[in-house]
Structure 1
Amino acid sequence: MLDNSNVKGNESTNKIAWVEVSSINLLLKKSVSDAKVLTGRQKPLDSVSILAITIIDSRGHEGFGFSYCLRAGGAGQYAHACELAPILLDEDSNDISRLWNKMVWLGA
């Protein structure tokens, strides 16, 4: 059953209250190589950079998402997420499409 008590017109009263951005560097026990490593195009994969995001809204609902980078880009991905995170605060947590577009155009 849906709870519509938090909806006023087209806008929800659920506001994003907290955003946590985390960067995790997962070291692999054994490096992974493929044909691109043998040809010199890539270095062996010895770690995976994981970007983790936790969002909590004003009603205590919690969401979690993650992304990852192989070899390069993890630090840049984390820096970009840290720059975007504050713009989510006090936004309607149910208006995902609008927030996605807002973040995309801020990064364009």
Structure 2
Amino acid sequence: MTNAHHTLTRFNRPDGLRDLIRATVPPEWRTGPILGIAPHTDVLVAKAVTDGSALELALRPGHGPRRVRLGLRRLIPRRTYRATGAIAPTVVADEPGEGIIEVDLEIALNADRR
């Protein structure tokens, strides 16, 4: 348990553990775009953070390099979003506020690997 708390303090934001216990999160996290669909085991989500209007993702391949389709939710209907790093440079949200993007995931190699 102590190791888990230590890890949370190193990789969490200030007061993150307190907010987790109290079930309080920033309003942007409750209303901003989210990653709704990601193929399990094909893509590993290392980071998914919203600021209320944009979504920042850090993705890793689960089973080697591949192209994956990701579903985004809580978008503003009919709005065009820039999709940096995706196959298509933009995505347009549909009427329910959802969009699909495709991303090529590649394995990052460690330069010091021997």
Higher relative contact order (CA 8 A, sep 6+): 1
Same fold (TM over 0.5): no
TM-score bracket, normalised by the shorter chain, equals under 0.3
What TM-score comes out, normalization by structure 1 length? 0.23
Q: Higher strand share goes to which structure?
A: 1
Which entry has the higher C-alpha Rg, 1 or 2? 1
What TM-score comes out, normalization by structure 2 length? 0.22
Q: Higher helix share goes to which structure?
A: 1
